[in-house]
Every structure is written in C-alpha cells, then in structure tokens.
C-alpha cells in the first residue's frame, strides 16, 4: 500500500513538473516563431521579354561549373531558367 502511494505521488509530481511552461520558454518560442516568419519573404518573379500565360511555371536547371580565377580554379553554382 505504501509503495503504491509513493509511486502515485512521484508520478503526479513528474506530470506537474513537465506540464508547466515557464514564461522564459514561452517567450523564447514566440520570438523564435516571429523570426521564422520574417526570415523567408515571398518573392514574385516577373519575366522581362515574354509574357507567359496565367498558368505558366518557371523551371530551372542548376549545375556546378569550374571557373578559372587568379587564385586558381573555383567551382561555382550556375543556373538557367525558362518559362513553360
């Protein structure tokens, strides 16, 4: 009987400790959420020469290419995009 009471009291203490949120952690999670929402702006791309239809999509192909610099060869990302 005494073991059951001790076990239930310990279990209740653990539940109380882990379910309480401290103001510091709530404040930190709110500021983190605000930063995440601000860090990725939506970008709208408008083509210059052609005027694609309303359902057109922009496709891109990217690759790594070696460019020769004064300091030596450097691998740089390259990209080519088109409307389809």
pLDDT digits (tens, 9 = 90+) for 33-75: 565 556 667 777 776 777 777 888 889 999 999 999 999 999 9
Q: Quick one: pLDDT band at residue 9, thresholds 50, 70, 90?
A: confident
Residues with Cβ < 8 Å from 57, sequence gap 6 or more? 83, 84
Question: What CA–CA distance (Å, rounded) separates 74 from 64?
Answer: 10
**Residue burial 63-83, b: 16+ Cβ < 10 Å; e: rest:** eeeeeeeeeeeeeeeeeeeee
Beta bridge partners, 63, equal 78
0.85 exceeded by pTM: no
Question: What CA–CA distance (Å, rounded) separates 53 from 56?
Answer: 5
């Amino acid at each position: 009987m005494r073991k059951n009471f001790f076990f239930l009291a310990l279990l209740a203490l653990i539940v109380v400790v882990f379910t309480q949120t401290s103001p510091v952690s709530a404040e930190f999670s709110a500021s983190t959420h605000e930063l995440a929402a601000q860090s990725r702006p939506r970008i709208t791309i408008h083509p210059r020469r052609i005027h694609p239809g309303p359902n057109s999509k922009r496709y891109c192909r990217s690759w790594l290419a070696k460019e020769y610099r004064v300091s030596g060869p450097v691998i740089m990302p390259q990209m080519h995009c088109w409307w389809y």
